[in-house]
Structure formats: C-alpha cells, structure tokens
Amino acid sequence: MIEKIAFGNTGHFSTRTIFGAAAFGGVTQEEADSTLETLLEFGVNHIDTAASYGAAEDRIGPWMAKHRGDFFLATKTGERTYQKARDEIHRSLERMQVDQIDLIQLHNLVDENEWETAMGSGGALEAAIEAREAGLVRFIGVTGHGLTVARQHRKSLERFAFDSVLLPWNYPMMQNAEYAADFHALCEICRERDVAIQTIKAVTRRPWGEETKNRSTWYQPFEEQDAIDKAVHWLLSHPGLFLNTVGDIHVLPKVLDAAARFESAPSDEEMQELVEANEMAPLFV
C-alpha cells in the first residue's frame, strides 16, 4: 500500500499519491468507475479535481453516495471574482453530489493582475472564506504552474493562511537553480506553518513534439514502468511532498504501482541516465 502522511494541518492522513482527476476530463462513466476500483486497490484516499477539468466532477459524483467517507475531496475554482467563484463552488458541490468539499483551491493563481483581483476586495478568496464559514468547504488552498509559481505562492501565504499549495516539481525542474531555490524557500515556509505541499508533473518526459499524441495529458508522460519508477521514487524521496498523479487513466496504474513499491531514491547517475535516454525536457522555460 502507499504511504499515508499528514496533509498539512487538516488532520487528514492522505496517501502520498493523490489522484489527479484531470485524467477524467474526457472519459466515460464506465472508465471512471473502473479507475475507482484501481484507486481503492492501492488505498488512495485523496482526490484532486477542478471545475475546469471537463467532465471530471460529474464522473466523481456517482461515487460519493457510497464512497464519500473514503476520500479527502478537493476541487478548484479558476474564477477571480467573488460572485463567479461563489457560483462555481456551488456548482462543484452539485456536480459531485456532496454537501461539503474538504478543500477548495484558487486555481493557477500566478498572473499578478489576476492575483490582485482574486485576493482583493470582492475577489475569489472572499467566496472561498464564505464557503468555509458556511460549512460548504473545510480548507482553502492555492495552485499554480510555471516558473514563478513558487515565488507567487510565498506571496499568497503572506496575504492569507492557506492550508495547501500545489506546484510543479520534477528532476528537470530541479536543474533550474532559480526555480529550485524558490521551491525550497516555499517548502521551508510551508513546513514552518504546517501547510500541505502538493506537486504536479512528476512523470513528465517533455512537451509534445512531432510525436503522435497518444495520451490525454497536455505534456508527454513517461509510459514505461522503469522510467515511471525512477521519476516517482525521486519525487517521493523528498519528505513531506505529495505527488498528484498523471492526467491519463491508462498511465495511472503504473504510477500507483511505483508509489506502492517506493523504498529509496534513485541515484543522481540513474536520474541523469533517465534524462539522456528519454531526451527529457522541462515544460516551463
């Protein structure tokens, strides 16, 4: 089974691999239900979705009558103003057929102008706080992509006591000295304040090039088990970090299998071999 650790200050012990329901953007309910069985098999107890992930919230909804107590349930709003975010939070509750969401996250909050809107008067943060006060959500987080996200998350934590952050982290990104420094500085603050740290893009090989796109991910993921093992084990060797899984239901079982077998980190030599053999390249430059 996959290790469980405290998800920040929430009191919940989440599997270190969190199901990234972006993988449900274009699947059928039958495919989603089959994936549920895989999650239960590996003991995954945390789902991370978003209002913008196509049909994902609708696919999760039918599970909740029987399995609501089995999962810490997180979603996201990409809206920046109070009313639109409030409406989207309520739609998410309806789509997932629940009375309460465990974690609502302000989605991809990196752009400075959008940040000012969302965090200011009449912004999305006010809707999230209102939903928490009403008991519709329990905790509030913030997410983001790109090379400036770690720095922006630090700014967000100065403005508000978020319960979680989410951002990219993988071996190629660690080679970017500036991003690595920002990432580690963010982690230090999060650990001081008991803020959960979620990571994405752990099993990214590179951006799609001239290859025929055969996965639902917007990046090219690893597909071979050995490569996935190294990428996942490298990420999990960082204490306290969560790995949000790949956005393709067909790659997902290999990621969970790798996580279940995690014991130690691959060596630097093994990671360099992985980079060279797979022509790995960073998504964000």
Here the CATH number for the domain that contains residue 210 is 3.20.20.100
Domain that holds residue 144: 4-278
Predicted TM-score (pTM) of this structure = 0.96
Task: Give bridge partners of residue 221 from the DSSP assignment.
Answer: 204
Q: Is the pLDDT of residue 212 over 90?
A: no
77 SS3 class: strand
Give the three-class secondary structure for 96. Answer: coil
- Rounded mean pLDDT of 203-231? 83
pLDDT at 84: 98
- Residue at 103 is within a domain: yes
Q: Quick check: is 210 in a domain?
A: yes
| 283 found inside a domain | no
Domain-located, residue 132: yes
Please say whether the beta carbons of 75 and 92 come within 8 A: yes
Residue 43 within any structural domain of the chain: yes
Q: Per the structure, how many domains does the chain have? A: 1
Query: Does residue 285 lie within any of the structural domains?
Result: no
| Bridge pairing between strands 137-143 and 164-168 | parallel
pLDDT digits (tens, 9 = 90+) for 228-274: 999 999 999 999 999 999 988 999 999 999 999 999 999 999 999 99
pLDDT mean over 22-30: 94
Is position 273 within any domain?
A: yes
Domain-embedded: residue 284:
no
pLDDT tens digits for 151-200? 999 999 999 999 999 999 999 999 999 999 999 999 999 999 999 999 99
pLDDT > 80? residue 123: yes
